[in-house]
Chains A and B, each alone.
Chain A
Amino acid sequence: MSNKSDQPSVQRRQFIGGTIAAAGALTLAPGVILHAASDGDKATSGASSKHRWGMLIDANKCADGCSACVDACNSEHGLTDLGRPETDAVWIRPVKLRDKQTGHVDRLVMMCQHCEHPPCVDVCPTNASFKRIDGVVLVDRHRCIGCRYCMMACPYKARSFVHEALSEQSVAAPRGKGCVESCTLCVHRIDAGEMQTACQEACTKEGHGAIVFGDLKDPNSEISRMLKSHNSVQIRADLELNTGVRYLNL
């Protein structure tokens, strides 16, 4: 047989095999390296099921006309007022109520209630809405397709849709046009070991002390002790969502 056969030569086979192996290595290697790097990150700031973060809001202490917590939340997360209240993002909002029978007036703040059984997580088609093992309900902005089903499902109207392109964002809260977002319970602070949310910090600084943040699973935390000694309520308790945010004197 002459070497005119169209059978590939050994060298050619080796060359093709070598090329495929090299291309494969080039494709996989960065992934492996990144994966290893992200594993390293997890070790320092991973969420733990030993905690469940929550908040207690005292309606008696929430002061009339005060917006310190709202302003602090906005500046912490880079939520800008574009003068369009219908579409501007709102993560925390004051609500003032009057009892229809007795005329008793209450004031409180509403935000994502960080439910144990969050309806937003149930309805999200792509798993973008999720609950961390420490109870914080978040949106993965890389997975959110902007269908807004979670906004339809949230019984607390806690979520906002980003209606426009954003600039000058806060490093604490990356956001994106076309995605849904809500209170993160200042998860960036929790992960950095700072046990105080922006709203609580502002409320305390104003001297009202209406917001207490802490670990619901730690029996010695301030929030746990207060919840044990006082009668607190959940908003829309009938839905049995076991919220992480509770209210006093409501």
Chain B
Amino acid sequence: MSKMYYRELYCGSPVRFWMGLTLLGAIIAVGLGAAYYMEHQGHWVTGMSNQIVWGLPHVFAIFLIVAASGALNVASIGSVFGGPLYKPLGRYSALLAIGLLVGGLIVLVLDLGRPDRLIVAMTEYNFKSIFAWNVILYSGFVAIVAVYLWTMMDRSMEKFKRPLGFAAFFWRIALTTGTGSIFGFLVAREAYDAAIMAPMFVIMSFSYGLAFFIITLIAAYIWGDREIGVYRLTKLKNLLGVFVGAVLYFVLAYNLTNLYVAQHHGIERFILLDGGIYTMMFWVGQILIGSIIPLFLIYSPAFENSRWAIAVASIAVLIGGFFQIYLIVIGGQAYPMNLFPGKEIIETGFFDGQIINYVPTFPEAALGVAGMAVSLALVAIGARVFKVFPETLED
């Protein structure tokens, strides 16, 4: 077997690299401006309210955080499960995982009512709160994956690679379990309060993370004028197909369980039939774009060796995943809590029993998109500074 050489990712033309970074920088600047505006004015300038307390920034943040732990899968398969085809991709997998997590965390923190009190969140812990655990899980993830990346890049650290790979793998499972449990542990709302949330988030992370990995890998190799073999991409594609199918299975189990329980018929009707925009997001966004189209592109013999089909399938998985998180976070709040079973509410001073309308505003979107730009900028700079990409990935 020939030796694998890693090299910093230099763009075909330096102008392209700097233009790319400048663009990302501009998006980040707009996002920071938006965050300042929202903090300075107060959240009334956003679409969020006392009914929809978590809005679009949370959707972006959770999407990126979930994808981050999944992006590490390729490294795990290489060093924990011993997949030789995946091994050369391990370094990039770790870099992408850190980038996505940091991007997501920035959005989460900047959407707090008091982001200036971050130090309180870091020093005062209520260990019954899954949020407090997540503070530790998220920061620990960055630290462990950073050291893991080091062991992959430095031959003198080689002996620590496997144990760290194991640690990172278990940590990432804990991390996504924690993120899913944010919703799983909420007894108040009908869409949540389900143990399946934790494993569903784990499997969602596998799917989104791998889709992010594939699409950015292809982009990086085009960007750097390097070769990437179809065989390796096909392997990744097949794995993505399994993950997309698994997410679909969990979605089916979640909805079937709800359909069985009379108490949950209302929320199911809302998601599946008459929830307007949310029903649309479920069937068109999550199921058609996020599941059926990618599964077709992945398994249809017509696209067997098409790298464009692989790229489009990955993008479709990401779009579908975004809708899925949107539906969980926003849809779950828009559907009213059932405080008085068997009664209808004919007068209320606080929107009881009503389906809540939420229209995200530009600053919220700008902050969310800036989080993504932070992730991409970190990855672009990381790949330029460190030797994470193999010189060639020809078969």
Contacts and interface: CB of A to CB of B under 8 A. Distances in A.
Interface residues of A, number: 58
Contacts of A94: 347-349
B23 interface: no
A87 B348 contact: no
The DSSP consensus for interface residues of chain A is loop
B290 to A, nearest CB: 24
Nearest to A67: B349
Contacts of B348: 93-96
B116 to A, nearest CB: 9
A185 interface: no
B44 A152 contact: no
Interface string A87-101: 111100111111111
B126 to A, nearest CB: 5
Contacts of A163: 42-44, 49-50
Interface in B155-193: 182, 185-189
Given A125-B121, A161-B53, A145 B337 contact: no
A55 interface: no
Contact of A177 (B113, B129, B189, B342): B113
Contacts of B345: 95-97
B236 to A, nearest CB: 36
Interface string B352-370: 1000000000000000000
Contacts of B343: 97-100, 106
Contacts of B115: 145-146
B132 A126 contact: yes
B272 interface: no
- The 10 closest A-B CB pairs, nearest first, are A146-B113, A178-B113, A93-B349, A96-B347, A164-B42, A125-B131, A86-B49, A163-B44, A155-B188, A125-B132
Given A94-B347, A146-B117, 12 more contacts: A67-B349, A82-B44, A86-B51, A87-B43, A93-B349, A94-B348, A100-B344, A101-B342, A105-B346, A127-B125, A146-B113, A159-B50
9 contacts: A101-B342, A123-B130, A124-B129, A126-B125, A152-B333, A160-B50, A161-B113, A178-B113, A239-B187
